[in-house]
Amino acid sequence: MSWNGQTVIDLDSHIRERPDRFYQDYIDPAYRGPYEQLCDAVSRQEKAGEPYALFGRRTAVVEPIETGRPLGVRDTFGLTRRSGMEMGRLAFPPGRTTALPPIRPEVSWNVAARLEDMDRALVDVSVLYPTHVSSYCALRDTGFENALYRAYHRWVADFCAQAPARLKWTVVPNMREVASGVAEVKYWAERDPNLVGVYVSPQAPEGKLLDDPGLHPLYEVAQDLDLPLLVHGGTARPPYAPGTFDLDGAWFLLHSFGNPWAGMAALGALVGGGVFELFPYLRVAIIETGGGWLPLALDRLDTHYIMSPGHVPNLKRLPRDVVAEGRYFHAIDSWERSMEFCVQELGEDLWLFATDWPHGDTAWPESLQQITDRPGLSERAKRKMLGGNALRLCPRLRG
């Protein structure tokens, strides 16, 4: 199925995991009680006629914040919520005249359906991320938080084992109890070759950026196990990314700019914090934040390194040189109009193919064609973007 002999690797596809439906057989017995309480809360929410939402909406089971205020409206009286992106199938790229086909929800639990949709999109391998597992950090009980991570990992490992050549997954470590996170990464890296990377959020709980020395044990274990650090954006839910509380609950701005803003903060913290110097073999990718902003961000980081080197004592070279070294990778959306410019400006060796499927803001099943049909990209650049760069980022994808 590969494109002109190149294995096509989607570095960002998702599971829409539901703990109340997926974890029944995977939760630790010691946490069966809290788990049943969580399931009961979800059931009560749905019986009241509200859509399922564990986080981030007015009716979320875990305390939400305002994320649905329309711009130009002062008071909403608690009656608005985040957009369901109903028109999303007309938006990628902007200006298309026919809607993309609907996305089947069963791809989150039915492997056969998932493989059918991957075939339709000409994708050979999908790297799976959860939708809201990283938000378990919002729970007050860190023991239950860890139990939910373990349950998800057991479930997704079994899910991928049904099609091990095509489905790979990412481990979600506890970022507020780092020792537990390190133990979880080690446990799964030793047991499951389908695990290909370590998922971290752009900002850790309690507002800690990714330069925080308390996170270094996670970086060390990722380096030691030859697993990449995969920084994945998420909009207006715990752990809240930079900018979440600065946009007055306006969904239009939060969803437009939240992930790019978080990606810039993650890039700046990792590079400026000297993480690439401190961990000389660590590979890092930033996922689902867009790609068009990266040349601008590097221009500004370079100038500020020169102007104020005392504020980045662990950084010993221009940020652009860190990125050019070959251990940094970046996902770009297939529909971004600036793609050719980005490749021209920063080279072919860092860009990743990532669809965000089956979330609403995806160009599936046309994502691959949106890249291969670009006359401004060489065939070599297309091959690297569609899979070659992913194989360098994630050695376990080589099989």
Q: For residue range 319-337, list pLDDT tens digits in order.
A: 999 999 999 999 999 999 9
With a cut of 80, say whether residue 306 has pLDDT above it.
yes
Give the residue-averaged pLDDT of 333-344.
97
231-254 pLDDT tens trace: 998 888 899 988 888 988 899 999
pLDDT band at 1 (very low <50, low <70, confident <90, very high): low
Give the DSSP H/E element, type plus range, for residue 351: strand 351-353
CATH number of the domain located at residue range(s) 9-17+106-398 in this protein = 3.20.20.140
- Residue 166 is encoded by which pair of tokens? 């095509």
**Cα–Cα distance between 106 and 255 in angstroms, integer?**
25
- Binned at pLDDT 50, 70 and 90, residue 77 comes out as confident
Pair type for strands 125-130 and 9-15 = parallel
- Average pLDDT, stretch 85-102? 86
- Whether the bond into 309 is cis, omega within 30 of 0: no
pLDDT band at 103 (very low <50, low <70, confident <90, very high): very high
pLDDT surpassing 90 at residue 115? yes
Report the predicted TM-score, pTM, of the whole model to 2 decimal places. 0.96
Using CA atoms, how far apart are residues 108 and 15, in angstroms rounded to an integer? 5
- Domain locations along the chain: 9-17+106-398
Q: Model confidence at 44, in pLDDT bands (50, 70, 90)?
A: very high
**pLDDT at residue 348, as a whole number:** 98
Dihedral over Cα of 314, 316, 318, 323: its sign: negative
In this prediction, what percent of the chain has a pLDDT beyond 90? 82
Q: What is the mean pLDDT of residues 199-228?
A: 97
Q: What is the pLDDT of residue 86?
A: 72
Query: Peptide bond before 202: cis, by omega within 30 degrees of 0?
Result: no
Q: What's the whole-number mean pLDDT along residues 95-119?
A: 94
User: What is the mean predicted confidence (pLDDT) over 128-139?
Assistant: 95
Q: Which residues of 298-332 are buried (b: 16+ CB within 10 A; e: fewer)?
A: beebeeebeeeeeebeebeebbbebbbeebbbbbb
The percentage of the chain sitting over the pLDDT mark of 70, rounded to a whole number, equals 99
DSSP 240: P
Q: Please tell me the distance from the alpha carbon of residue 90 to that of residue 188, in angstroms, as a whole number.
A: 39
Output 311 or 53, whichever has higher pLDDT: 311
pLDDT for 239 equals 94
Mean pLDDT, rounded, for 287-309: 98
Determine the average pLDDT of the residues in 191-207.
96
Counts of helices then strands in the chain (DSSP H, E) = 14, 10
Of 79-83, 188-192, 281-285, the least confident:
79-83
Please give the average per-residue pLDDT across 79-94, as a whole number.
81
Q: What is the mean pLDDT of residues 263-285?
A: 98
Query: What is the average pLDDT value for the chain, to the nearest integer?
Result: 94
- pLDDT, residue 227, reads 98
For position 65, what pLDDT does the model report? Answer: 83
Question: Do residues 290 and 334 make contact, with C-beta atoms less than 8 angstroms apart?
Answer: no
Q: Has residue 58 got a pLDDT over 90?
A: no
Give the whole-angstrom CA distance, residue 229 versus residue 239. Answer: 17
What's the pLDDT tens digit per position in 180-191?
999 999 999 999
Please tell me the number of Cα atoms within 13 Å of 122 on its side-chain side: 17
Q: Three-class SS of residue 387? A: helix
pLDDT of residue 230: 98
Average pLDDT, integer, range 203-227: 97
Residues present in the chain in total: 399
Poorest-confidence range of 26-30, 53-57, 383-387?
A: 53-57
